[in-house]
Structure 1
Amino acid sequence: MGDYVSEYIEAVENGSIIVSDKIQKAIERHKSDVEKSKNEDYPYYYSIGHTQQIVKFVEMLPDPKTGKPNVLALFQKFILAMLWGWRKKSDNTRRFKKAYLSLARKQGKSLLVSGIALYCLIYERNPRNARQIYATANMRDQAKIVFNMVKSQLKAVRGKSKTVRDFTKVLKYEVTTTDDSFMQPLSADADTLDGLDTMLGIFDEYALSKTTEMMDVIETSMGQQLEPLIVIISTASNKLNYPMYSVEYHYINKLLSGETENDEYLALCWEQDNMKEIDKPELWIKSNPLMEIIEQKEQLTSMYKRMLKESKAKGTISNILTKHFNVWVQSSKESYMNTEEWSSAIADDSMRNSNLFGRDIYIGVDLSRVGDLTSISWAIPIDEKQKILANSYSFVGSKGGIEQKEKEDKTPYTAYEKAGECSISTQPSGLVDYRDMIVWLDEFIQHNEFNVKAICYDPYNAGLMITELSERYGDAFVEVRQGPFTLSPATKQLKIDILNGKLVHLNNKLLNRGMYNAVSVEKNDSLMIDKTTNRNKIDPVDALINAYTQAQYHDFDEVDVNELIESGEYGFGW
Structure 2
Amino acid sequence: MLRNKYVEEYINRWKDGELILNDKRVKLIGLIETIILPRSDLYYFDEEQIENYINFSESWYFELDDWEKFIAPFIFLFTLEDDETVFDEFLIVGGRGKGKNGFISTLSNYFISSLHGIDYYDVSIVANSEKQAKRSHKECYQVIKKKGNEDLEEEFEAYKSSITSRETQSTFEYKTSNASSQDGGREGAVIYDEFHEMENSEIVDVFSGGLGKVDHGRQFFIGTKGFVREGYFDTKYRESEDILNGLTEFIGVFPFICELDDIGEMDKPELWPKANPALQPPLNKRGKRLLTRIMKEYKKLATEPSGRPAFVTKRMNFIEDKMENSVATKEELTATNRPFFKLDSVPIGGLDFGSVRDFATCGLLFKKKDEYAFKSFTFAMKQFCDVHYGYSLKEQVVGSEKKAPIKSWEKMGLMKVVNEPSLNPKHVVNWFVEARNQYGVRMIVLDNYKADILGPMLEKEGFEVVRLRKPSNLHPLLAPRVEDGFANSKFIFGDNPLMRWFTNNIYVKETEDGKKFLKKEEIKRKTDGFQAFIHALYKANELEDQVDYNSAFDMLDELDF
The answer to whether TM tops 0.5 is yes
- The letter of the residue matching 1:88 is T
Helix, strand or coil for the counterpart of 1:316?
Answer: helix
Percent sequence identity over aligned pairs: 19
- The letter of the residue matching 2:28 is A
- Match among 128, 147, 150 for residue 137 of structure 2: 147
TM-score in terms of structure 2 length: 0.65
Deviation at 1:91, TM superposition (A): 3.1
CA distance in 2, matches of 1:250, 1:498: 32
CA distance in 1, matches of 2:531, 2:37: 50
Deviation at 1:195, TM superposition (A): 6.0
Contact 2:361-2:378 at 8 Å conserved across structures: yes
Deviation at 1:293, TM superposition (A): 3.0
Deviations 1:373-423 (A, max 9, x none): 9974889xxxxxxxx99999999xxxxxxxxxxxxxxxxxxxxxx999xxx
CA distance in 2, matches of 1:345, 1:50: 52
CA distance in 2, matches of 1:227, 1:343: 48
- The letter of the residue matching 1:21 is D
Contact 1:390-1:504 at 8 Å conserved across structures: no
Deviations 1:525-563 (A, max 9, x none): xxxx94299xx99985443556899xxxxxxxxxxxxxx
Deviation at 1:343, TM superposition (A): 12
Deviations 1:436-464 (A, max 9, x none): 99627939999xxxxx9999953676796
- Match among 150, 154, 167 for residue 155 of structure 2: 167
Contact 1:366-1:539 at 8 Å conserved across structures: no
Q: How does 1:410-559 map to 2 (within 5 A)?
A: 439=424, 442=427, 458=445, 465=454, 468=457, 492=484, 494=486, 514-517=506-509, 530-531=515-516, 540=528, 541-545=530-534
Which residue matches 1:411? none
TM-score in terms of structure 1 length: 0.63
Contact 1:241-1:513 at 8 Å conserved across structures: no
CA distance in 2, matches of 1:336, 1:81: 37
Helix, strand or coil for the counterpart of 2:508?
Answer: helix
Deviations 1:469-502 (A, max 9, x none): 7999x9xx99999999999777545457799xx9
CA distance in 2, matches of 1:327, 1:224: 38
Structure 1 pair 121/542, CA: closer, same or farther in 2 (3 Å)?
A: same
Which residue matches 2:282? 294
Q: How does 1:28-43 map to 2 (within 5 A)?
A: 28-34=30-36, 36-38=38-40, 40=41, 43=42
Structure 1 pair 327/483, CA: closer, same or farther in 2 (3 Å)?
A: closer
Q: How does 1:273-292 map to 2 (within 5 A)?
A: 273-292=261-280
- The letter of the residue matching 2:36 is V
Contact 1:97-1:264 at 8 Å conserved across structures: yes
Q: How does 1:185-200 map to 2 (within 5 A)?
A: 185-189=174-178, 193-194=182-183, 196-200=185-189
CA distance in 2, matches of 1:134, 1:287: 27
Which residue matches 2:238? 250
- The letter of the residue matching 2:427 is D
Structure 1 pair 468/181, CA: closer, same or farther in 2 (3 Å)?
A: same
- Match among 351, 372, 385 for residue 365 of structure 1: 351
- Match among 106, 126, 137 for residue 136 of structure 1: 126
Helix, strand or coil for the counterpart of 1:337?
Answer: coil
- Match among 12, 17, 32 for residue 15 of structure 1: 17
Structure 1 pair 308/375, CA: closer, same or farther in 2 (3 Å)?
A: farther
Which residue matches 2:59? 60
CA distance in 2, matches of 1:36, 1:506: 46
- The letter of the residue matching 1:531 is K
Helix, strand or coil for the counterpart of 1:5?
Answer: helix
Which residue matches 2:412? none
Q: Which runs of 5+ in 2 are unaligned?
A: 335-347, 365-373, 382-401, 405-420, 432-436, 539-561
CA RMSD in angstroms, aligned pairs only: 5.3
CA distance in 1, matches of 2:67, 2:171: 29
1:109 to 2:97 alignment: no
Deviations 1:63-117 (A, max 9, x none): xxxxxxx222211211212222x21111334321111101111212122111111
Helix, strand or coil for the counterpart of 1:153?
Answer: helix
Contact 2:4-2:73 at 8 Å conserved across structures: no
- Match among 213, 217, 223 for residue 206 of structure 2: 217
Structure 1 pair 241/281, CA: closer, same or farther in 2 (3 Å)?
A: same
Contact 1:207-1:244 at 8 Å conserved across structures: yes
Structure 1 pair 100/365, CA: closer, same or farther in 2 (3 Å)?
A: same
Helix, strand or coil for the counterpart of 1:294?
Answer: coil
Q: Which runs of 5+ in 1 are unaligned?
A: 63-69, 347-361, 380-387, 396-417, 421-435, 447-451, 522-528, 550-574
CA distance in 2, matches of 1:173, 1:88: 35
Deviation at 1:264, TM superposition (A): 1.1
Contact 1:101-1:231 at 8 Å conserved across structures: yes
Which residue matches 1:231? 220
- Match among 301, 318, 321 for residue 309 of structure 2: 318
Which residue matches 1:426? none
CA distance in 2, matches of 1:17, 1:254: 24
Q: How does 1:335-374 map to 2 (within 5 A)?
A: 335=324, 337=326, 341=329, 365-366=351-352
CA distance in 1, matches of 2:182, 2:58: 34
